[in-house]
Structure 1
């Protein structure tokens, strides 16, 4: 997975109606869509992916907890 960003603080997402889940700090792949950001992380044997609203992604960027390369 070619990372183009990294998580440096608390970045959370919600899987369905479940509780908030913390994305681990470290490299992530970010793909932007018109209304969301798809975040992928993990290693080859344990990949995780989630989509978060674009405004939430922008907030994480402005807070500095997601840093792009």
Structure 2
């Protein structure tokens, strides 16, 4: 296992998940307000795709570290 690559993958994964959570909160508050429930379509908002890419990169890096 390549430890540097694994740590980079875990860091990308954690930053992506936390960032995506904060971004979804901002989207929900801006679109639906504080008292309303959000639609499931909030996951396909275009502002989330950069976080999905970062999460995917983290998964790929960790998988590559495991197979080295």
TM score, norm. by length of structure 2: 0.26
**Higher RCO (C-alpha under 8 Å, 6+ residues apart):** 2
Higher helix share: 2
Higher strand share: 1
Larger Rg computed on CA atoms = 2
TM score, norm. by length of structure 1: 0.25
